[in-house]
């Protein structure tokens, strides 16, 4: 955290340097060029990362994520828009989450995906596996900051919920978003959709997740995010995924550049550890590793004992003195 605070002290100068620059996932303004125009993108505590066993630690203090106000009345509405990088849905300020010790107010959610035929478009990976897509539900620390613009520049400013997507049964709640994509096919187009229960976009188990300190996954890449990536993916149908992968363009009608592969490449985890809220899997892995270690020790011990016995037998055989057998007198007496 100390390193993170030092990094954020440089924010005003970095922000000024990055004003006026655009960005993309490919081309001259693609990911490789981000650090030139957005200094934080080449810094520490960057996201996404590959979440794997070597960096996991169980934390018994982690509690289930608490959601408030997520069942939004149909009388209210969300704005669904194409910002040229993703599809984004604005959220209402009555939606909040509690991650001790702070309350966070919902700002927006957006999606990341790959291209048709790959089913690989998530930003975070689990044990090297990339999922079909990923939803990010962005919240800001409303206990300390008045709005998301201010909060995103602070080390404790944001909390993002990451929901991994995989292909499976049709998802009626996601269809409320996907069915409207044809209305916002081009950059800067938007549409209003009726409120619904946003919690239905999340996995049922809100008590099983990975948590770590990271960053925004797009420029300006501020390292201000407390990430909560849920362990269990949510399913959407293959048809829904294809619509997501093919319906949107990152440009206006004049250019028609399809919006695909809008995910950032994995970033170094450095010295960061990822806390996990569940024992299953983590403890099992440790137990299996211990068992394997015991078996290796037993195997080596048995091998050494066997070699020692063979060596002793060989030594004994070399020290044996052989003598001629005594003659047996033949009995020639007769009855």
Are the C-beta atoms of residues 169 and 237 closer than 8 Å to each other?
A: yes
Give, in order, the Cα–Cα distances in Å from 243 to each of 144, 177, 180, 184: 39, 11, 10, 13
The reply to whether 21 belongs to the active site is no
Assigned token pair, 164:
């991994």
Are the C-beta atoms of residues 160 and 148 closer than 8 Å to each other?
A: no
State whether the Cα torsion 210-26-223-248 is positive or negative: negative
SS3 at position 49: coil
Angle at 119 between CA 117 and CA 122, to 5 degrees: 140
- H/E segment holding residue 210: strand 209-214
Rounded to whole angstroms, the Cα distance separating 54 from 260 reads 31
Residue with tokens 């035929």: 117
Assigned token pair, 3:
């390193």
What's the number of CA atoms in the CB half-sphere (13 Å) around residue 143? Answer: 12
Assigned token pair, 250:
């990152």
Rounded to whole angstroms, the Cα distance separating 318 from 326 reads 23
Question: If you ran DSSP here, which 8-state letter would residue 265 be given?
Answer: P
Select which of 21, 52, 85, 112 is catalytic.
85
Question: If you ran DSSP here, which 8-state letter would residue 286 be given?
Answer: H
The neighbour count for residue 248, using CB atoms within 10 Å, is 25
Query: Catalytic positions, please?
Result: 85
């Amino acid at each position: 955290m100390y390193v993170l605070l030092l990094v954020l002290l440089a924010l005003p100068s970095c922000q000024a340097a990055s004003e006026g620059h655009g960005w993309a996932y490919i081309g001259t303004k693609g990911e490789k060029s981000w650090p030139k125009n957005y200094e934080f993108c080449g810094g520490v505590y960057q996201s996404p990362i590959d979440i794997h066993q070597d960096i996991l630690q169980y934390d018994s203090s982690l509690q289930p994520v608490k959601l408030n106000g997520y069942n939004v009345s149909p009388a209210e509405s969300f704005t669904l828009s194409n910002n040229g990088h993703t599809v984004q849905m604005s959220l209402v300020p009555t939606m909040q989450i509690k991650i001790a010790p702070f309350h966070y107010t919902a700002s927006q959610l957006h999606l990341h995906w790959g291209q048709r035929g790959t089913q690989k478009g998530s930003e975070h990976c689990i044990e090297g596996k990339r999922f079909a897509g990923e939803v990010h539900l962005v919240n800001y620390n409303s206990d300390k900051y008045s709005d998301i613009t201010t909060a995103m520049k602070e080390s404790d400013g944001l909390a993002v919920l990451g929901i991994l997507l995989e292909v499976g049964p049709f998802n009626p709640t996601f269809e409320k978003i996907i069915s409207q994509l044809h209305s916002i096919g081009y950059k800067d187009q938007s549409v209003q959709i009726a409120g619904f229960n946003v919690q239905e976009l999340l996995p049922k188990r809100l008590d099983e997740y990975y948590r770590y300190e990271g960053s925004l996954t797009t420029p300006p890449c501020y390292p201000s995010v407390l990430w909560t990536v849920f362990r269990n993916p949510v399913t959407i149908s293959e048809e829904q995924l294809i619509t997501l992968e093919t319906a949107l363009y990152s440009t206006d009608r004049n250019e028609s550049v399809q919006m695909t592969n809008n995910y950032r490449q994995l970033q170094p985890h450095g010295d960061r550890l990822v806390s996990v809220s569940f024992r299953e899997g983590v403890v099992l892995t440790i137990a299996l590793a211990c068992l394997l270690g015991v078996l290796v020790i037993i195997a080596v011990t048995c091998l050494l004992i066997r070699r020692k016995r063979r060596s002793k037998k060989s030594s004994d055989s070399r020290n044996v003195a052989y003598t001629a057998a005594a003659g047996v007198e033949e009995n020639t007496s007769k009855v």
